[in-house]
Amino acid sequence: MAGRVSLIPLVCFKCETAVPAQPDETAWVCARCGQGLLLDEEKGLAALSVQYSAALPPGATGRPFWVAQGTATTIRKTYGSRNESAESARMWATPRRFFIPAFTCPLETITSLGPALLQRPPVLEPGPAAPFQPVTLHPCDLNAVAEYIILSIEAGRKDNLKEIQIQLQLSEPALWVLP
């Protein structure tokens, strides 16, 4: 038998309010009760904790980010004799907080915003709920985007990178709405 298609009702499991989902969206906050909801292909809707930054100006629409602690190991090969492997190893030996855009954005934004927030992370101080852009990146895709952020940083080194291997471990992500 071919793969079965099943419909998942998008109704808040806390208050039974319909979730006005759009194609490609993967997480929401119930408009009635404020419950965070994540689309899980096996379970349907699952609870999701959503945090809002106190730095969001009143009335502003925030941007959602998956935030996770991560450690990475890089194995680099370069052209020529200059090798920055030691610098790379020092950087990734320390656990880092990854801020991964959960909203739809071009690769150029990920390449600039991801490394900038990783190297200079904002303070995560909780604030009041606020509207935010749609969440379109599912947590199952975080490792690939985090590896891309690491690759962006490593490619920016001035040692003529030829090849890199990345081993990455991320903690369970949290959804933060930032300015």
The C-alpha R_g of the chain, in whole angstroms, comes to 19
Q: Over the stretch 138-174, which tens digit does the pLDDT of each residue have? A: 999 999 999 999 999 998 888 888 889 999 999 999 9
The chain-wide mean pLDDT, for the chain, equals 91
Q: Over the stretch 110-121, which tens digit does the pLDDT of each residue have? A: 999 999 999 999
* CA dist list (Å): 59 to 3, 8, 132: 45, 33, 10
Residue 103 backbone phi and psi in degrees, to 5: -100, 160
